[in-house]
Structures are given as structure tokens and as C-alpha cells.
Amino acid sequence: MAPRGGRPAASSGSEDEEEAAGFSRSYFLAKEKEPSSGKKRARAAAGKLSDLNLVDEHVLRASLAEIPPKHEEEVEALTRCYKDQYHNWLFELRCGFGLLMYGFGSKKQLLEDFASTTLTDFTVIVINGYLPSVNLKQVIATIAEMFWDQTKAKRKRQPGTRAQLSQQFPSQSTEDIISFLMRQTSDDVDYPVCLLIHNVDGPALRDTESQQCLAQISCCPQVRVVASIDHVNAPLLWDKKMVHKQFKWSWYHVPTFAPYKVEGVFYPLILASGGHAQTTKTALVLQSLTPNAQSVFRVLAEYQLANEKEEGMPVNSLYTKCRERFLVSSQVTLNSHLTEFKDHDLVKIRKHSDGQDCLRIPLVSDALEKLLQELA
């Protein structure tokens, strides 16, 4: 038996639901018909970040340098705690592990102090991973040459081995150099090498090839690695188990709360003028390139300043100019320079109205002139 008054209650509920649904439909229909001019005016009034009058980067950096340090006593006490662990770190290095330091703050001063006071039995080679570019082949060639010299010195002290002293270094290919390093033992080398890598997660070392090369070096019997990371996604560099096993990292949380004074120079500040930041970045990248590459860039920059109204410099014209100045010997050489420029966002390529590929440096004339003055 249905409860008394059941039917009227159901009818009332249906009416309420229909009324609520009708109200919702009316609300959204009204919103759809509402003119968007008011919204646009509100967005326009809010403005954009690009509309802000930002200061030049050197002014902002000068202001940052004047900020007094805080909590000096606490930071000093924290640093002393880390120094007490130096002998433990050295023990792990001698056991074949690599040291990986992470935590907020620059770890550059801490690692260099550890190297100068504790790693006295090692030859320390410093790699600044925060630089725009790092030549890893040159690093491993330097290690190999050091080991080769030590091996020759040992052979010289041994009787009956003078005939082997004239042998030159085996090869200059990366594979052969690493193969040579892998064969070195404590009998061949007096002082093992410790690679001290500031920011192994830096922009020049993040690619897979660089990480694999460093991992192979870390496996060499007479090479140890001490490194720091600061990027939040740095652990993803070693998502492959093989690479992670090669490094044999021993992780240490060492927040120093020290400002990134040196490392930060190579990154434009967010609140700085965009044009100046781009100029600074371009100048830093150019300084890391070869003199020939810098000269090719100068030819392009001078053309752009002299022909501001043109869409860019045709590639053929750049090749002709560079040949006249004996900067390149072939189109292949020029293309290798242009590839390097494009990889570092130094130039942009666009199609000319007649279909030619044209090159243009993404800087305003004033910034480009200032850049050329700095290069000179």
C-alpha cells in the first residue's frame, strides 16, 4: 500500500526538478548571448607581462649583489656539518662509488673546498656543466694524456723499456680513448683522476650522448666522479638502469642555501629586459664557439646592420663573403657553422620573396651593435 500523500509528493519533486533544470538552461543561454566586449575590456585592462617596463639585466644583477646575506651563523654551522663528512665521502670514492650532491643552494664552493682539502691523492679536473657548451672529448683526451705521461714516466724508470717510450698516444677517437682509460690500473697510474662536475644536469650535459659518455668515463678504474645537480627533473637523466648502474651514485642531500652567483650568470633573469637578456645569452654562446664561427657570425651581423630593411642575408651571399675572407673553404664548412648557430638559437631561417633561404639574427639593431662591440 502506497503511503498516504505519496503521489502529490512525487509530483511536487518533479516540478522542482523541472524548475531547476529550466533555471540552469536559462542561465547558460544568457551567458552564451552575453557580449564578449566586456570580457575583452577586462583582459585588456589587466595587461600583459610584455607591457611592463623592465629594467636592464646588469642593473638588476647589481641590485641583487647588494642584498645582504641572511642567517650566516646557521649556514656556517650547516657547512661545518658537511665538512665533518669529508672523510666518509673520500672513503666511498675509494670504494668505487660516485658522489652526487643535491639540495637547494649553490654547491660549487663546497665541492671545491672538498677537492682542495681532501682529494690530495687525486688529480682533480673541474667541469663547469652550467656553461652553455662543454667539450667532453677534450676532457677525456686530457685525462688520457695525463695517464699516458704517467705510464711513460713509469716505463722510463724500469730497465729494458726505453724502446717503448717513442710510442705515441693510440688514437684520438672517443671510443679508443675510453678503451685506453679502461685498461689503466693502479700499476700504470700514480695519481687517479677525480672529475668534479658542477651541474651534471646543466644545459650542455643533459643530452643522452653526453650522459652516456660521462657514465662510461665513471666506469674507468682510475677515474672517480663527484657531481652536483640543481634541476628538479635531474633524476630523469638516468631513467635508464644501465646508465644509473654505471655511475654508481651515492646521493647526498647537502642544501647550502648559497646564492647561485656564478651559475646564474649564464641564465637571463625573469624580471630583466628581454632584449638585454637575449643579448647576454647570445654573447655567452658566441664566446664558447671557435674564432672562425665567431667571424662568420660577425659577417652576418654586419650585413644585417647595413641592410635593416631586408628580410635577411641569403645563404649564398654569406658563403661568398666568407670565402672572400678565407673563413670557410666549402659549403659544408659553412653549413656546420649554421647548424651550430641554429642549435643555439643564434639565427633564424626564413624564405625570401624570391624563394631563397635567408638568415637573420633575432636581435634589434642596438643590441646587435652592442654585441659586436663586446666581441671585438
Q: How far is the C-alpha of 219 from the C-alpha of 178, rounded, in Å? A: 10
pLDDT above 80 (res 89): yes
Specify the pTM.
Answer: 0.62
Look at 203-217, 238-252, 259-273 and tell me which has the smallest mean pLDDT.
259-273
What pLDDT digit, counting tens, does each position of 184-228 carry? 888 778 889 999 999 999 888 988 888 989 999 999 999 999 999
238 and 98 share a domain?
Answer: yes
Q: How far is the C-alpha of 348 from the C-alpha of 344, rounded, in Å? A: 10
**59 domain-assigned:** no
Average pLDDT of span 320-347: 88
Looking at residue 317, its pLDDT comes to 92
pLDDT above 80 (res 85): yes
What would the grid cell of residue 168 be?
A: 705515441
274-287 vs 57-65: helix axis angle to the nearest 10? Answer: 90
Nearest one of 139, 145, 142, 90 to 118, comparing CA atoms: 90
Looking at residue 242, its pLDDT comes to 63
What would the grid cell of residue 28 be?
A: 547558460
Q: Which amino acid is at 125?
A: I
What pLDDT digit, counting tens, does each position of 48-70 carry? 555 666 666 667 777 877 888 88
Q: How far is the C-alpha of 115 from the C-alpha of 126, rounded, in Å? A: 10
209 and 290 share a domain?
Answer: no
CA distances for 156 relative to 161, 164, 166, 293, 313, angstroms: 7, 9, 11, 43, 59
89 and 151 share a domain?
Answer: yes
Range of the domain at 339: 275-375
What would the grid cell of residue 44 be?
A: 585588456
Give the alpha-carbon dihedral of 188, 191, 192, 195, to 10 degrees: -140
Query: Is there a contact between 243 and 212 (Cβ–Cβ < 8 Å)?
Result: yes
Looking at residue 226, its pLDDT comes to 97
Helix (H) or strand (E) holding 198: strand 193-198
279 and 370 share a domain?
Answer: yes
**17 domain-assigned:** no
Considering 221, 253, 285, which residue would you say is the last residue of a domain? 253
Nearest one of 134, 151, 142 to 185, comparing CA atoms: 151
Look at 155-164, 256-265, 302-311, 327-336 and tell me which has the smallest mean pLDDT.
155-164
**117 domain-assigned:** yes
**236 domain-assigned:** yes
**366 domain-assigned:** yes
200 and 290 share a domain?
Answer: no
pLDDT above 90 (res 340): no
Looking at residue 170, its pLDDT comes to 56
Burial environment of residue 339 by CB neighbours within 10 A (0 to 12, 13 to 18, 19 or more): exposed
Considering 190, 220, 253, which residue would you say is the last residue of a domain? 253
CATH number at residue 183: 3.40.50.300
Query: Is there a contact between 108 and 266 (Cβ–Cβ < 8 Å)?
Result: no
Looking at residue 87, its pLDDT comes to 96
Looking at residue 92, its pLDDT comes to 96
189 and 293 share a domain?
Answer: no
Average pLDDT of span 74-84: 95
Average pLDDT of span 234-247: 75
**261 domain-assigned:** no
CATH number at residue 371: 1.10.10.10
Nearest one of 27, 4, 186, 158 to 94, comparing CA atoms: 186
Residue 1: pLDDT band with limits 50, 70, 90: very low
pLDDT above 70 (res 40): no
292 and 369 share a domain?
Answer: yes
245 and 120 share a domain?
Answer: yes
Burial environment of residue 193 by CB neighbours within 10 A (0 to 12, 13 to 18, 19 or more): buried
Structurally, the chain folds into a number of domains equal to 2
241 and 129 share a domain?
Answer: yes
Q: How far is the C-alpha of 304 from the C-alpha of 298, rounded, in Å? A: 10
Collapsing DSSP to helix, strand or coil, 99 comes out as strand
Q: How far is the C-alpha of 145 from the C-alpha of 69, rounded, in Å? A: 43
Strand partners, 251: 100
306 and 189 share a domain?
Answer: no
240 and 302 share a domain?
Answer: no
Q: Which amino acid is at 256?
A: T
**5 domain-assigned:** no
**60 domain-assigned:** no
185 and 323 share a domain?
Answer: no
